[in-house]
Amino acid sequence: MQELIQSPPRERGDEIHGAATPILCLVQAFTDLGLFDDDLDLCAAAALQHLGRELDAMHTKNDVHHDGLATSEQEPPAGQPHVQWSSRHVSVIVKPPGWSVFTSTDVMVGAKHLVSWVQAKSRQPIVRDRQADYGFVHRLDRNTSGSLLVAQSYEGYFAAKLEFNARRVTKQYVALCEGHFPKDLRMLSFPLLTVESSPGTFRSLVDEAGQHARTEVLRVAHLRDASREAWSLLILRLHTGRTHQIRAHCSALGHPLAADQAYGGKSLASCKRMPPAG
């Protein structure tokens, strides 16, 4: 990595991405094996910072400053994303349900894409760079709401990816599922295999041939709706980031998420207000 830092500047962006990708892969592999120590952390951080600054310099001509995402004091319109926090290098966007992060696998008519929303509000080069996932450090499913980290510089992007790949980011979710989820079940460790169920549409299945996947169950509350149907409110923490991990794990236990018909859930039409189950 030291040789990478001392080498002459690269002339093309894909060369820089090509140098950063194996570093991030090694960080994740060493972390999963319990071998990622402070020395490796410092080396990886220095190398990624160097590569990020190279890309930022490459995309900045004549020291022109590009406007990034900015917070607003006004209340955002219902159902619209908004910037919760922003700095020079990264921003936090609150994603409402019904918005896809990327456009490549979502061909639904009238679909709303967060990439387009970000590109309309930021002139930073990274939000138009497919190789850098348009600045998005991670993703959320279309019908999942929550916070997303979006980079405003390549230096910020690689720094954030390092934190994710080193498993230093806590990803916690609140989910409503069908039935009364077991209160004594604390870790779901079913391997998940991602398959293409139809052109451009992917889903995950519990399969021994799949990737290791771990979902921690932090809290469980049992509920009943007006029709006395059983539901559970869960607080979950992801230890891996597989496609549709929570949806697939809950479905495999016979407790699909509310209205998640792709994974065996039923309509949420009758689920309005639910007091705690007695």
Q: What are the residue numbers of the active site?
A: 141
Q: Cα(177)–Cα(222) distance, rounded to whole angstroms?
A: 10
- 112 strand-pairing partners: 99
Q: Cα(8)–Cα(252) distance, rounded to whole angstroms?
A: 52
Q: Tokens for 262, please give them.
A: 């792709």
> Residue type for 30, please?
F
Q: Cα(171)–Cα(264) distance, rounded to whole angstroms?
A: 24
Q: Cα(24)–Cα(183) distance, rounded to whole angstroms?
A: 37
Q: Cα(221)–Cα(225) distance, rounded to whole angstroms?
A: 13
Q: What is the DSSP letter of 68?
A: -
- Going from the C-alpha of 162 to that of each of 31, 58, 156, 184, the distances in angstroms are 11, 21, 10, 34
3-state secondary structure of 260: coil
3-state secondary structure of 173: strand
Q: Cα(158)–Cα(35) distance, rounded to whole angstroms?
A: 21
